[in-house]
Amino acid sequence: MQKGGQWTASLRLLSHGHEDFIGAVPELLKQINVGVFGTHFTMSLVELALTEAGMNVSDYRLYRINHNKVLKFGNITVQFYSTSHSVPESLGIAIKTEDGALVYAPDFTFASNTDPRYQTSFGNMTEIAKDGVLALFSESLGAANIGRASNDYQLIYAVNEILQNSKRVIFSMFSTELQRIQKIINLCVQNNRRVAIIGKKAQKTINIAVKEGYLQIPPENFVNLKYMTEENRNDDADLAVIITGIRHEPYYTLQRMCNGVDRLIEIKDDDNIIIISQPTTGTEIMAQKTTSLLHRHGAKVTVIPKSMLMSSHADSEDLKMLYSIMKPKYVVPIIGEYRHQVMQKQIALEAGFKEENVIMLENGIKITFENGRLLPEREKIRSGDVLVDGSFVGDINEIVLKDREMLAQDGLVLVVTSVDARLKKIIAGPTVEMKGFVVGETAEEVSRAVSQLSEEIINSFLAKRYIDWASLKNQLKESITKEVLKLTNKNPIIMVSLIDVESK
């Protein structure tokens, strides 16, 4: 918390290693160097995040714990219990006070599991509940789920059938679903498949999981793909490719593969694509567009329905079971959109809680308990999005925006091309305008290189049966950025304008 311009905190307890739970740790530690506690896998990811932020891990107090650890800070005791989630060694957290425990229960299910790294420690939960729970802060993301699978058996059966009867198989998965990735790897190995895992941003997380033994791939089945050449297209019939990433990233990678701009894989009409990554909020349109694009390229596409996937978030029955174990005086729905929290409130009311004992909060609202009772006063603290840009952290109106910095430091490249979409040909351009970073002969060289590169990329897209304009613009921006960086060691803002005109 920031109070009077100063950051105040004593420690940070981490429940698990997903980006939305640990992503802010580097910035928080820059503001105030507090002790950070988490399980081995979680802290391995934190160390990676610190290293990527240019921070020295040894400068910070990072502590590895397990679910049986008990921490004491003055008159405060902290206990933990392990939970079943999509990443290993996830935790629930209980902060014990004189009036009862405050239990934090994020991202969990009560699904049965044979792997101890994904099991719920019910013994620890009952031990915490024995001394009384004042308030239960429980996740709400899965509150609306009804009839979800309690395991991945249907998924395993469907995938096994495809692996047995297909040539190259490509999976689209979220990198956060480590246990599910392991199940797919096991199936691939059973079917004598070589396995490649790709995903630029997620690769380091996967590497840690492999190195630490959280993902296990026999060396003889694991393959690192090399860039495609005329001789090597990475299209062997025994190859299984697992595309990983978060949010939109698996879909974006598939689009690049369809459009022939990915350097590792190009989608062919005898490929079998299995989409296991369910669209998250805000990515539904992109997911539908990706599926349509795959069909246009003739690939066989299997979209695994939600009903076949074991949920990573507590449904209504899980929440009722949590209430039954913890027996809290108050329930505070957290995590998810407000509609999800309303759904949990309804579940709590159905479970017998009184309306006044289910506390609905907005971001920034502070609640206070005194002598075991909720005080009616609710203080509003300053909250909202914070723009993080290099060494600047603060409200948007207090810092210089990144685009302005880039314009001042590295300039601008504008590429304008007129295209006849009906005839699929370039009518005029590409015309290149550059401001603020190169002059003289260097400018002419860069302009020619950018123009030639742009023309090649545009023509390659125009040659396709279906033109994906958004992907074309993205590819132009990516390729021009790399070319300009190579020629000038500058990273200007790239603006691409494609004008659709009808030639006469």
Q: Which amino acid type is present at position 317?
A: E
**Looking at the structure, do residues 178 and 277 belong to the same domain, yes or no?**
yes
- Give me the percent of the chain exceeding a pLDDT of 70: 89
pLDDT of residue 147: 54
Task: Write out the residue range of the structural domain in which residue 447 sits.
Answer: 404-500
Structure tokens at 102: 């405050």
Q: Which residue has the higher pLDDT, 333 or 484?
A: 333
Asked if residue 266 has pLDDT above 50, the reply is: yes
* 443 within a domain of the structure (yes/no): yes
Asked if residue 3 has pLDDT above 60, the reply is: no
Q: CA nearest 198: which of 206, 186, 190, 210?
A: 206
**Per-residue model confidence as pLDDT tens digits over 318-327:** 999 999 999 9
pLDDT of residue 25: 94
Asked if residue 398 has pLDDT above 50, the reply is: no
**Per-residue model confidence as pLDDT tens digits over 58-88:** 999 999 999 999 999 888 899 999 999 989 9
**Looking at the structure, do residues 368 and 418 belong to the same domain, yes or no?**
no
**Looking at the structure, do residues 122 and 164 belong to the same domain, yes or no?**
no
- Give me the percent of the chain exceeding a pLDDT of 90: 49
Mean pLDDT for 312-332 is: 95
Asked if residue 394 has pLDDT above 50, the reply is: no
Residue count of the chain, please give it.
Answer: 504
Residue 239 maps to which CATH number? 3.40.50.10710
Q: Which of 389, 417, 449 is the last residue of a domain?
A: 389
**Looking at the structure, do residues 296 and 159 belong to the same domain, yes or no?**
yes
Q: How confident is the model at residue 1 (pLDDT cuts 50, 70, 90)?
A: very low
* 348 within a domain of the structure (yes/no): yes
Alpha-carbon distance of 295 to 283, in angstroms, equals 19
**Per-residue model confidence as pLDDT tens digits over 96-138:** 999 999 999 999 999 888 789 999 999 999 999 999 999 999 9
**Looking at the structure, do residues 106 and 129 belong to the same domain, yes or no?**
yes
Contacts of 231 (CB under 8 A, 6+ apart): none
Q: Which of 258, 291, 308 is the last residue of a domain?
A: 308
Q: Which of 389, 422, 444 is the last residue of a domain?
A: 389
**Looking at the structure, do residues 231 and 361 belong to the same domain, yes or no?**
no
Alpha-carbon distance of 170 to 242, in angstroms, equals 6
pLDDT of residue 201: 63
pLDDT of residue 22: 93
The rounded Cα 462 to chain-centroid distance in angstroms is 33
* 46 within a domain of the structure (yes/no): no
**Looking at the structure, do residues 157 and 198 belong to the same domain, yes or no?**
yes
Alpha-carbon distance of 456 to 452, in angstroms, equals 6
Asked if residue 378 has pLDDT above 70, the reply is: yes
Q: Which residues of 156-173 are buried (b: 16+ CB within 10 A; e: fewer)?
A: bebbeebbeebebbbbbb
**Looking at the structure, do residues 294 and 163 belong to the same domain, yes or no?**
yes
Alpha-carbon distance of 104 to 135, in angstroms, equals 9
Alpha-carbon distance of 370 to 382, in angstroms, equals 23
Say if residues 251 and 225 touch (Cβ distance below 8 Å): no
The rounded Cα 188 to chain-centroid distance in angstroms is 24
**Sign of the C-alpha dihedral computed for residues 316, 320, 322 and 328 taken in this order:** positive
Q: Which amino acid type is present at position 276?
A: I
**Looking at the structure, do residues 303 and 169 belong to the same domain, yes or no?**
yes
Asked if residue 404 has pLDDT above 60, the reply is: no
**Looking at the structure, do residues 290 and 315 belong to the same domain, yes or no?**
no
**Per-residue model confidence as pLDDT tens digits over 215-228:** 899 999 999 888 88
**Looking at the structure, do residues 188 and 303 belong to the same domain, yes or no?**
yes
Alpha-carbon distance of 296 to 37, in angstroms, equals 49
**Per-residue model confidence as pLDDT tens digits over 155-196:** 999 999 999 999 999 999 988 889 999 999 999 999 999 999
- Number of neighbouring beta carbons within 10 Å of residue 58: 7
Asked if residue 4 has pLDDT above 70, the reply is: no
Alpha-carbon distance of 69 to 238, in angstroms, equals 45
pLDDT of residue 391: 42
* 53 within a domain of the structure (yes/no): no
**Looking at the structure, do residues 254 and 342 belong to the same domain, yes or no?**
no
> How would you list the strands of the sheet with 300-303, edge to edge?
194-198, 239-243, 169-172, 272-275, 300-303
**Please, what is the average pLDDT of the chain?**
86
* 131 within a domain of the structure (yes/no): yes
Alpha-carbon distance of 273 to 298, in angstroms, equals 11
* 40 within a domain of the structure (yes/no): no
pLDDT of residue 393: 45
Number of domains in the chain: 3
- Number of neighbouring beta carbons within 10 Å of residue 341: 23
pLDDT of residue 5: 46
* 31 within a domain of the structure (yes/no): no
Q: Which residues of 400-423 are buried (b: 16+ CB within 10 A; e: fewer)?
A: eeeeeebbeebbbbebbbbbbeee
Say if residues 67 and 94 touch (Cβ distance below 8 Å): no
